[in-house]
Chains A and B, each alone.
Chain A
Amino acid sequence: MKQETEFPVVWNEPAEANLSWFFDMVHFPNQVTPLDFHFLINTMEKGINQAAQIYEMGFKDHYRFINTYIYDAPELDNSSPEEMTARTASSQQKLDTAIANLDQLWKEQWLPEIKEHISYWEEFNPSQVTMPILLEYLSETEKRLQRMWEIHFLLFWPMMLVLNYFEEMYQDIFGDNDQFQAYELLSGFTNKTIEGNQMIWQLSRKALASPIVQEVLTKNIATDVTNKLAESVEGQTFLTDLNRYFQEYGKQSDKPLLSSPSWLENPVPVIKNLQNYITQPDRDVVGEMEKATLLREQQITRASEALECYPQPVQNKFEKFLKAAQVSYVLSEDHHFWIDCKVSYYARQVSLEFGRRLSESGVIENQDDVFYLSLEEIKQVSTTTVSLHRLVNERRATEKNFSTCTPPPFLGKPFPEEMFDDPFYRALEKFFGVMATTTGKEKQELKGYAGSPGIVQGTARIIHTLDEADKLQPGDILVTKTTTPSWTSLFVSVAAIVTNSGGSLSHSAIVAREYGIPAVVGTGTATTTIQDGQMIEINGNSGLVRFL
């Protein structure tokens, strides 16, 4: 009863109550705005369903904007058992073909197309065009976003499936006493996340080599750093390097939402990161990460030796899964850089242009009020002077109203148990980790998924945005809702990681392993159960957080 008053749910259609809804904490752990839903999430929903149709996956995904949070429900096909068997076989074949060709598909088809979409957006300057052309651009952007999401899921499903196939086969051969060993065969390759992080790290080494730059970074607050750097020649050279970084890696933010400025627009999180990095003059991060490459080679040799006892088809299958899983491990980071970040960035740019025009014409008060409108509303009022001030204020009030609530992890009908006994769902669980939230909690400990091995004690630091990076001291344990790749530059500076969401194949877990720091992921409630500043012990092998 209490939950109903705190989180009332009104379904558009009664049938919706019969679906099983889950709160997607990996992608949308925070509140989203109406425009996020109508622009980003709607195009994503369409893209997912298009991809699901291509792979004949037998379900349709639904997204709902409930009390400012995002819920997702897969609706399974209502086909007969015979139809289902035939469909599953056909789907399996399509996914297996994609798995076998993943590297080629990405390099030769998907990435070139993504780059084509990006150059379309790059070449268009929204501020310079008339309203009809801007509206046309908006519709074209919607179409291209949908296609970007379609590619995202054409990649995502085979990628997750083969990571799971590989892990299961590895465990079937070697026993499942240590799940991380399987990942060691995949680690130590560079990816866009690591490359970006390494570039800031190298900038921090450059800063340490220049007393002037080092002084600017140590003596000033983050917001003043850019201006102060511009005052000296050495500072300007450093700024040029920094801008090169922003051009390449700056079109991302810590939240994949329209209202969240990218680093290109607001460099403060990156500057804070740099400030943090220069407090670690003796670290050799690049060297530390080479260990993973070495370990990988050793583990692959060990696996090949063990496989000699098996018939050729088993060896061939393992080899294929290993190759595809290595590609997937890299793409699980790279696709975020190329798709998720770019989608949010370019959708935000066009939204901001409408925000600017609508606030100038008085439809809304401020530019960022535009995030509280739907796409349809924006299109309707684009050439009018109708005031939507009240509507925006109401929606902002709703947002405020639900800002402190804890959205229930599930809504509607419970997920059927048998659904989890399927390699596809086992694969998704490793990414989403949704099931962990249902486990009971002891007072002295918090249970999650083992994300990256190791046991560490330290001070818990609850961080909600990258902007709080300056709170972190070396040796601290980062506690956060979720970490997209954009967060992982912080991983160099902390001793361990705890997240509310995600599984052993989520971004946070993968990158934590690359950095060799322990992680417990998918705890469900770490950011509310753990107190900021509290001493905790995290066990990345068992997935347990102990309060000390």
Chain B
Amino acid sequence: MLFKINDISETPSAKLIGGKGLQLANLTYLQQPVPEWFCISTSMFEQFLKDISSLKQNYNDRYQQIIETPLPRNIQLALENAILDLLQNSASNALSVRSSATVEDSIAASHAGQFDTFLGVNDVKTAICNVKQCWASLWSERSVKYRDQQNDANQASMAVVIQEFIPADISGVMFTSNPVTQKITECVIEASWGLGELIVSGQVVPDHFVIDTAQGKTSEFEVVTKKLGSKNEALFWNKKQKQLEKKPNFRYFQQNFVLDESQLFSLTKLGLKLQAQFGCPQDIEWAMYNDKIYILQSRPITSV
């Protein structure tokens, strides 16, 4: 089935919509600014698998098999409609397709980056193909190996989140408590131009900010550290070509901080709200587009 947040017939669980899906469900219930989304549940994945008589052993063969096997007609139609609907309501006219494994993002083990994610998908056919790729990535060499080490092999299933794609102007991460100094009254924000992928993967050195939140009130926040990052590249969404492009960043943007004080404080305020709602310090991925902040992901800080 397709899990939609307004659909109250199913209680969201990691088993049903995967770790990432559950995160989004929680954020949505908390009325956080999350890009529009829905989820292809694990039950749908399993229904699809049932139609395949025998899965190939070799990963590459199995991958090919999954891509080539057509979806059951009812799933195909429901999915097409849901994707088209989201595409039309998306500001960028594009979507993200994200794996949401049942073992991912669990509090015990951070599986970050083990499964596929597709950004800037702008037609139904590609989106459906990406969904299958996400499914297949459950058995990719690196994720199998990772699960072996974590002793949770074979119990994993895969949901897929389809979400409005945010063609971020600025993105970054935020730690609502300082993971380095362990200070809970400090919020750490790292930010750079374009999409956050280059920051998360460590390909650019972002600007680094530490905000003192001891006083609690936004009007009394204080930026206590500011470090200019080199930010020498940026992943921008080319809205004309409808594709992502990694470009050398502009010298002016490199030499100046990407966020001003008011933007930093808006982010901090949002971060503290999340920390209060979840009851523990959060590690947040966020994006800014047309001056609006979006929360892409929020999970407990594993090191604090």
Q: Which residues of A come within 8 Å of B, CB atoms? A: 85, 89, 92, 165, 168-169, 172-173, 308-314, 317, 321, 423
Contacts and interface: CB of A to CB of B under 8 A. Distances in A.
A311 B169 contact: yes
B255 A423 contact: yes
Contacts of A85: 226
A299 to B, nearest CB: 19
B290 interface: yes
A339 B252 CA distance: 30
B245 to A, nearest CB: 7
B240 A313 contact: no
B236 A172 contact: no
B239 A165 contact: no
Nearest to A173: B250
Interface string B77-95: 0000000000000000000
Contact of A309 (B169, B238, B249, B253): B238
Given A309-B240, A312-B169, A169 B250 contact: yes
Contact of B245 (A308, A309, A317, A321): A309
Given A311-B194, A312-B290, A172 B239 contact: no
A173 B237 CA distance: 15
A423 B251 contact: yes
A308 B250 contact: no
Contacts of A311: 167-169, 194, 236-237
Contact of A172 (B167, B169, B238, B251): B251
A174 B253 CA distance: 16
Given A309-B245, A311-B167, A313-B169, A168 B252 contact: yes
Contacts of B167: 311
A169 B255 CA distance: 12
Interface centre among B226, B239, B251 (most CB of A within 10 A): B251
Contact of B252 (A89, A165, A308, A310): A165
Contacts of B169: 311-313
B72 interface: no
Interface in B199-246: 226, 236-241, 245
B194 A172 contact: no
B256 interface: yes
30 contacts: A85-B226, A89-B226, A92-B256, A165-B252, A168-B250, A168-B251, A169-B251, A169-B252, A172-B248, A172-B249, A172-B250, A172-B251, A173-B250, A308-B239, A309-B238, A309-B240, A309-B245, A310-B238, A311-B167, A311-B168, A311-B194, A311-B237, A312-B169, A312-B290, A313-B169, A314-B250, A317-B253, A321-B252, A423-B252, A423-B255
B241 A309 contact: yes
A447 to B, nearest CB: 25
Nearest to B289: A311
A430 to B, nearest CB: 14
The SS class assigned to the B binding surface is: mixed
Interface residues of B, number: 22
Interface centre among A89, A168, A311, A313 (most CB of B within 10 A): A311
Contacts of B170: 313
B153 to A, nearest CB: 42
Nearest to B194: A311
A172 B252 CA distance: 10
Contacts of A172: 248-251
Interface string B168-209: 111000000000000000000000001000000000000000
Nearest to A318: B250
A313 B236 CA distance: 11
Contacts of B256: 92
Contacts of B240: 308-309
Given A168-B250, A313-B170, A423-B255, 12 more contacts: A85-B226, A89-B226, A165-B252, A168-B251, A169-B252, A308-B240, A309-B241, A311-B167, A311-B236, A314-B236, A314-B250, A321-B252
Nearest to A426: B251
Nearest to B258: A313
A308 B252 CA distance: 19
Contacts of A92: 256
Interface centre among A308, A310, A312 (most CB of B within 10 A): A310
A321 B251 CA distance: 13
Contacts of B237: 311
A222 B240 CA distance: 62
Interface in B13-42: none
Contacts of A169: 250-252
Contacts of A89: 226
A216 to B, nearest CB: 56
A323 to B, nearest CB: 15
**9 tightest A-B contacts by CB?**
A309-B238, A172-B250, A311-B169, A168-B251, A313-B169, A308-B240, A309-B240, A165-B252, A169-B250
A317 B169 CA distance: 12
Interface in B244-301: 245, 248-253, 255-256, 290
Nearest to B245: A309
Contacts of A317: 250, 252-253
A501 to B, nearest CB: 26
A325 to B, nearest CB: 12
B236 A310 contact: yes
B239 A309 contact: yes
A423 B255 CA distance: 9
A16 B240 CA distance: 58
Interface string B100-135: 000000000000000000000000000000000000
Nearest to A305: B240
A165 B245 CA distance: 23
Interface string B147-172: 00000000000000000000111100
A89 B256 CA distance: 9
A315 to B, nearest CB: 10
Nearest to B257: A89
Nearest to A422: B255
A204 B167 CA distance: 59
Contacts of B241: 309
Contacts of B248: 172
A92 B248 CA distance: 23
A328 to B, nearest CB: 15
A427 to B, nearest CB: 12
Nearest to A306: B240
Contacts of B239: 308-309
Nearest to B238: A309
Interface centre among B169, B170, B248 (most CB of A within 10 A): B169
Nearest to A165: B252
Contacts of A165: 252
Contacts of B253: 317
A419 to B, nearest CB: 15
A207 B236 CA distance: 60
Nearest to B243: A309
Contacts of B226: 85, 89
Contacts of A423: 251-252, 255
A89 B261 CA distance: 12
A168 B255 CA distance: 12
A256 to B, nearest CB: 33
A85 B227 CA distance: 10
A429 to B, nearest CB: 15
A85 B226 CA distance: 9
Nearest to A316: B169
A174 to B, nearest CB: 12
